[in-house]
Amino acid sequence: MLLRGTGALAEAARTRRALPGFVAYNLETVQALVSAAERTDRPVLLQAGASAFRHAGRDLLAQLAVSAAAASTAEIGVHLDHSRDLDEITTCIEAGYTSVMIDGSHLSFSDNIALTRTAVRRAHDAGVWVEAELGAIAGNEDVSTDAEAGAMTDPRQAAEFVAATGVDALAVAVGNVHGFTDRPVALDLDRLAAIHEVTPVPLVLHGASGLPAEQLLGALDRGVAKVNVNAELRRAYLQSVADQLPTALAGADVVSTWSAARSAVADAAVRTINLLTAERRKTNA
Q: Work out whether the CA dihedral 218, 219, 225, 230 comes out positive or negative.
A: negative
Residue 115's nearest CA partner among 102, 127, 124, 130 is 102
Specify which residues 134 forms β-bridges with: 172
81 annotated active-site: yes
- Smallest Cα–Cα separation from 46: which of 98, 112, 122? 98
| Catalytic site residue from 41, 59, 81, 168 | 81
d(CA 80, CA 221): 26
Q: Tell me which residues are annotated as active site.
A: 81
